[in-house]
Amino acid sequence: MEDENGKSESLMILEMSLPYLGSEEPVALRGAVHAINRPSTYEMLDTKSELRERVAAAMIEAADSAPDSADDRTLAGYAYALGRLGDARALPTLRSWAREELSLAATLASIAMFARNEDLTMLESFLGAPENEHDYVERIRGVPGVMFQSYGSAALPVIERVFGATTNGSMSFSCLAILLEADRPAGWAFASRAIETNNKFKEAATTHIQRLHPEVGVDEQAILTLARIRAAR
């Protein structure tokens, strides 16, 4: 928590930064986005709805020009801020950036933050990328976690389908952790097979189960038995 002097400084930095959101200078735009994404800024905006709306409006107004001036890291920060601020007027911009695959991981995660049911099909289409596009899938492997945080159980059927279809190890790891946490039989069945066959997912499956059920300890047979029981429900 900041003291009053710190809050005043955060507000001053934020106010000074807003005009630079439309800057054609990459460094100026980067600085403005960084100022908005400071933890102290969000702490302040979470308690000041009028200021939050003004910041969101400024970002949305300048968003069309951002891809022309921003590098990928800055654009990812811009996309994150649009999602974090939660103003639904940003969704058309974020959906457009997704279609153009601009800062894709941050853009998809920000779309997921809004938890709109109409976006689930689009999100699934990106997560189900062709198996040969390894680098592409690696970039977006964290999106299922954001979907689960935002959509809750409504995201689970999508995550299960992606889990069943993907051949990318990182995406499988991400989905497995979610399905075990959500206590889905598909996740437990996968974990059981991984332990039984001693495949590359065994260690991750075992670690997740131990975290969720510390009572099993380090006994592999106890872990496997639990996985089989949960999978058979």
Residues 158-189: tens digit of each pLDDT: 999 999 988 888 899 999 999 999 999 999 99
Q: Are 221 and 196 in contact (CB under 8 A)?
A: no
Residues 6 or more apart whose CB falls under 8 angstroms from that of 136 comprise: 104, 129
Q: Are 40 and 62 in contact (CB under 8 A)?
A: no
Q: What's residue 168's pLDDT?
A: 84
Residues 11-39: tens digit of each pLDDT: 899 999 999 999 999 999 999 999 999 99
Q: Are 168 and 138 in contact (CB under 8 A)?
A: yes
Task: Give CA angle at 28 (25, 31), nearest 5°.
Answer: 145
Closest Cα to residue 160, out of 138, 183, 194? Answer: 183
Q: Report DSSP state, residue 137.
A: H
Residues 195-216: tens digit of each pLDDT: 999 999 999 999 999 999 999 9
Cα separation of 216 and 208, whole Å?
12
